[in-house]
Amino acid sequence: MNGKSILLIIGGGIAAYKSLELIRLFKKSGANVRAVLTKAGAEFVTPLSVSALTAEPVYQDLFDLDDEAQMGHIQLSRIADLIVIAPATADLMAKMAHGLANDLASTVLLATDTKVLMAPAMNVRMWEHPATQRNLAQLEADGITRIGPDEGDMACGEFGFGRMAEPEAIFNAARDLLAGETTGPLSGKHILITSGPTHEAIDPVRYIANRSSGRQGAAIAKALASLGAKVSYITGPVNIAAPHSVTTIKVQSAQDMFRAVNEALPADAAIFAAAVADWRVDCQGDENRKIKKQKGRMPVFNFCENPDILASISALPTNKRPPLVIGFAAETDHVLPNARAKYKRKGCDWLLANDVSGDVMGGDNNQVTLLSPDGEESWPLMSKDDVAKRLATKIAKALSKP
Ligand code: C5P
């Protein structure tokens, strides 16, 4: 941590007292710490204690002339190598999830493109409330890393999840995040993953797309990186943030994606989670000119087949083929029979079948069945993050075998 710059945001919760110990740990490791203390945070720890421990002024008010003169809020959001929020209260999480910027802490968080680690702390009911869980899902999708909360007795007398992680655990998580998470069972492994939809141009302004949100693929990329893998995340156009600690390659069409996959090889494993368009418009006219509307005359499009990326990579010679190739089968009906046929046809090693007849596309949860040479394994309905973690752990196990 030597020489690293940490911006610590202290929210208003009883756990704020632990943030003083956290500052001490950061300082001991050689990091520079600047702190933003929210109005509510200052009810629990004094600016004097924070300033004495950080050996820096404490930043409290968005409209404080002295603070702004010393270091403006935009600058404050940019100088850090890592932003740590401890405690991250329900209120701070809600503001962040919705992009509010009505005090110094939330403004800094909206203005930054730095990695953010948050340590939530709140009453168990507040933590379990659907609103907080919705906000959490949004923040994780936005690429914010979370540590805790832990389970245990709380200051309010209740028991459950809501206690802030211990300062040492937050410190370790911050250190790993700064180190680019190079440790873990997948360290040294390169894994590529395709994700999201593809856009197939009709003309310069129109395209054919599909409803894939890319959330399952992004969750898998994140889970692999958190196990130490070097991840090439090849994504079609999506509205979600790319996970931290992965190499993001943005593409538009299936052909672009195919090219990017080949450029990213060699890899120890390749996962094809993208919803690739099977066809593209065989553009007869000038691809740089918008097709004009002609009264009473409908355009007729011819389609041609896109490359099947999964099948092509599965069919590569052994010296080029990633040793573990994983496909997806998103089906609306006859899920398993269709998936079994696809598994044979594509030539991949594993295939994850999922039913997309409900709100899976764009939703939070997924129910998958893993087809592999070991047989069929049906996983219960779980969050896309949990599917990702379970898959990443399985991949780590498979790649550790000689
Ligand atoms: O044939 P289908 O689109 O149902 O196959 C789904 C699987 O194949 C997914 O893993 C998807 O990412 C992959 N795929 C591909 N290239 C295509 C079509 C599908 O890699 N052109």
- Spatial neighbors of 362 by CB under 8 A, at least 6 apart, are 211, 213, 215
Tell me if 329 CB under 6 Å of ligand 1. yes
Cα–Cα distance for residue pair 261/234, rounded to 1 Å: 7
Task: Give pTM, 2 decimals.
Answer: 0.63
Q: Say how many Å lie between the CA of residue 328 and the centre of ligand 1.
A: 7
Please identify, by atom number, the ligand 1 atom nearest to the C-alpha of residue 278: 21
> Which pLDDT belongs to residue 178?
86
Tokens in use for 151?
Answer: 């389970």
Cα–Cα distance for residue pair 212/362, rounded to 1 Å: 6
Tokens in use for 59?
Answer: 């930043």
Using DSSP's 3-state secondary structure scheme, residue 145 falls into strand
Q: Which CATH number fits domain 5-179: 3.40.50.1950, 3.40.30.10, 3.90.320.10, 3.40.309.10?
A: 3.40.50.1950
| Active-site residue, from 156, 283, 304, 348 | 156
> Which pLDDT belongs to residue 288?
82
Ligand 1: residue whose CA is nearest its atom 9: 328
> Which pLDDT belongs to residue 344?
96
Q: Packing angle between helix 90-98 and helix 130-141, nearest 10 degrees?
A: 50
> Which pLDDT belongs to residue 93?
98
Residue 2 neighbours by CB distance under 10 Å: 7
> Which pLDDT belongs to residue 183?
61
Partners of 54 in the β-ladder: none
Phi, psi of 305 (to 5 degrees): -75, 140
Cα–Cα distance for residue pair 214/396, rounded to 1 Å: 22
Cα–Cα distance for residue pair 33/4, rounded to 1 Å: 9
- Give the C-alpha distances (Å, rounded to integers) separating 92 from 148, 152, 341, 380: 15, 22, 48, 32
> Which pLDDT belongs to residue 276?
97
pLDDT in tens, the chain (402 residues): 888 899 999 999 999 999 999 999 999 999 999 999 999 999 999 999 999 999 999 999 888 877 777 777 788 888 898 999 999 999 999 999 999 999 999 999 999 888 899 999 999 999 999 999 999 989 988 889 899 999 888 887 888 889 999 999 999 999 988 876 456 789 889 999 999 999 999 999 999 999 999 999 999 999 998 888 989 999 999 998 888 778 889 999 999 999 999 999 999 999 999 999 999 998 666 778 888 889 999 988 899 999 999 999 999 999 999 999 999 998 889 999 999 999 999 999 999 999 887 776 767 888 999 999 999 999 999 999 999 999 999 999 999 977
Residue located via tokens 């295939």: 351
Q: Where in the chain is the domain with CATH 3.40.50.10300?
A: 190-399
Name the residue of 234, 255, 309, 355 to mutate for ligand 1: max ligand atoms within 8 A of Cβ. Answer: 309
Residue 291 contacts residue 285 (beta carbons within 8 Å): yes
Q: Where in the chain is the domain with CATH 3.40.50.1950?
A: 5-179
- Give the C-alpha distances (Å, rounded to integers) separating 204 from 256, 264, 281, 291, 292: 16, 28, 12, 9, 12
> Which pLDDT belongs to residue 320?
95
Q: Active-site residue 156, yes or no? A: yes
Q: Say how many Å lie between the CA of residue 330 and the centre of ligand 1.
A: 9
> Which pLDDT belongs to residue 180?
65
Q: Looking at domain 190-399, does it have CATH number 3.40.50.10300?
A: yes
Partners of 353 in the β-ladder: 329, 369
Please identify, by atom number, the ligand 1 atom nearest to the C-alpha of residue 273: 12
